[in-house]
Chains A and B, each alone.
Chain A
Amino acid sequence: MCDQCPDTFVKPQIESIPQSQLALGEEAGYFEVAGTHLYTVLHRVSEPLARVLLVGPFASERQNSYLPWVRWARYLAARRFEVLRYDYRGVGESLGRFEEATFKDWSDDLQVLGEWFMNREPALPLLVHGLEIGGLLASSSFQRGMGNALLLWSPPADANQALRSTLLRWVGLEQLLKPGAERRSAGDYIRELEQGKSIEVEGYQWSARLWRDAFTWKLPAEIINASDAGVGQRPVRVVKLPKEAAPLVKGGFVGADEVKDFDWLFAENAKWIQAQFDLCERGADEASN
């Protein structure tokens, strides 16, 4: 660096990074499912009150919402919930090829993982929590009997709606970066998918089958209408996250939103979970009386 260069840079105070007391309780591992291994992180706690299975952001949404999602898991673990989070097959740290995986595979994987988690000792109530497309998969498993309560954050009406919004966001970004002649509209990509071709969205190969199948993965009417009444006496809560919840929902700017405070969201939802398990226990007592 030459001496004449102005040194206007002011370094911010770098805080030392304290070690979390919860760190020892996080156990990452590979969980074997049909034909591949899923990356899982189990947040162990001493004397857990209940279990929470997190069915997280899908494919390219993962990279944006990873930090707040991990923080949510830690928030729950700090309140004595044993939490299990994982990556879908073909995504993130999990093995498998994304382009070959189907919604049925992702649903079957969740079923296997959920059964393993439910059968851990000691026996505890289980909440299944899904985010966006994860909410659809969680709902499907919940309908099949998995879990004592269900919490959904911004589930789409169907999986295609979520894919479509991901595509729109990505095309918007592409348009900012590419010269006019190379720019393509979302309609161009959708036409290709409808013609049976694959397209590439943020590094993931979307097959025509993925696009087609996505229409059939819907949020069940039973869940939509459940509101506070629940499904078969099992509580259900559906929360439409506001835009302030970005990057857990689309609309944020990567790099600016991850470190923001999500306590307003976490506290309210953790309170709801705690309340449901109190209710479950009371209900069980009343039934036995």
Chain B
Amino acid sequence: MKRAIEGRELITLDLHGPLVQGTYHRARDISSATNDKPHLGIVFLNSLSLPRAATGDSAVYWADCLAACGYPTFRIDLPGLGDSDGKLPKDLLEFINSGGFAFGAAQKVRELVERFDLPGVIIVGHCAGAVSALFAAAESDVCKGLVLLDVYFHLPQAVRPKVRQKLSAWALNNRLGRFMSNVYDQLKKISLSVRGSKPPNNANFPLLRCWRRITSTGLPILILKAPARKATGTKPRKGDFDYLDYILKMVRDRNQVTLTLTEGTDHSFANRLGRNAVQQEMETWLKSHFPLTQAQPPRLRLGSRIPLASEVNPFVSSK
């Protein structure tokens, strides 16, 4: 058995807390073109309960490509997930939505930075992993940027009641059902217009606060959005609160956040179209914000520490 093969190495992060397993995709050597400066690392976090390879092994593909572009890339299993040690709480989704992985992820990211002598990292997360990435960024002083795939800012139910599931299936496959679904959307739209710009009660308010704090430091963020049923572009389904619009309005410098619709894919981004598009978007964004000739992002206020989420948000643990 080998721990390393060409281009890849299995790593164990064992300094703090549970043992965390990961895969390191070594960067293609382009040091001659980049003044031998160490490059920012890219770290992929798990999406909900998925192992670090993600759906259809899409994260493996992205990591290979980013490493080939010169960025050392890491995929880690957060404590309790994949091959890592640790005990997961019974309600994983609630745990993640409350920032349960923030401290552990930030700790392990720091360990990576120290071990591989990186000037910092970009954290990448998909869906629930994007929520963890945001919370972790607030806990981390080495996170220099975020890539968030289909991030959400509400508190979804882990399992929808059976009646609701049956109703959705009926609405999908039946002409009358589709009509009723459209009526329902219209009613929701009216209710939304009455409420104004205020987020609904099931918004993840600690996460929204976390967003505000993080963006106030100038951290560059790339948001990729997959097409969704009954949604147009990056806009949500009629009657649903437009969280992306809401969070973008919080940002002072609009260039700090890049929002892109990834056409031809679904929520997993795992099909060929999706993974290629994500790859291209990430590469373009990285080259623009973190060119390999420069180890630090130009827009980041050097020396300014991102405040800890626990300082900002009483709901995030300061363990």
Which A residues are within 8 Å of any B CB, using their own CB? 1, 4-9, 11-12, 14-20, 23, 26-32, 37, 40-42, 60, 62-63, 66-67, 70, 91-93, 95, 98, 174-180, 200, 202-205, 253-256, 258-260
Contacts and interface: CB of A to CB of B under 8 A. Distances in A.
Given A18-B87, A28-B21, A256-B158, A11 B49 contact: no
Nearest to B250: A1
A19 B3 contact: no
A59 to B, nearest CB: 9
Nearest to A255: B48
Contact of A1 (B3, B169, B208): B208
Nearest to A95: B5
A9 to B, nearest CB: 5
A203 B57 contact: yes
B18 A19 contact: yes
A253 B158 CA distance: 9
Contacts of A98: 57
B98 A11 contact: yes
Contact of A174 (B3, B60, B91, B266): B266
B229 A31 contact: no
Contact of A67 (B81, B158, B198, B212): B81
A202 B56 contact: yes
Interface of B (DSSP majority class): loop
B267 interface: yes
B270 A202 contact: yes
Contacts of B51: 62-63, 66, 92
B279 interface: no
A9 B155 contact: yes
Contacts of B317: 14
B18 A30 contact: no
Interface stretch (B183-191, B199-207, B291-299): B199-207
Interface in B79-135: 79-83, 85-95, 98-100, 104, 128
A258 B49 contact: yes
A29 B91 CA distance: 31
Interface string B22-64: 0100000000000000000000000011111111111010000
A260 B94 CA distance: 15
Nearest to B53: A92
B85 A30 contact: no
Contact of A42 (B1, B93, B98, B169): B1
8 contacts: A15-B89, A17-B18, A31-B1, A32-B2, A60-B56, A175-B172, A200-B272, A203-B58
Interface in B161-178: 168-169, 172, 178
A266 to B, nearest CB: 16
B10 interface: yes
When A and B form their complex, which 8 residue pairs have the shortest distance between CB atoms, in order from nearest? A203-B56, A29-B1, A203-B270, A17-B86, A23-B85, A1-B209, A258-B49, A11-B315
B314 to A, nearest CB: 9
A177 B23 CA distance: 32
B19 interface: yes
Nearest to B312: A1
A177 B212 contact: no
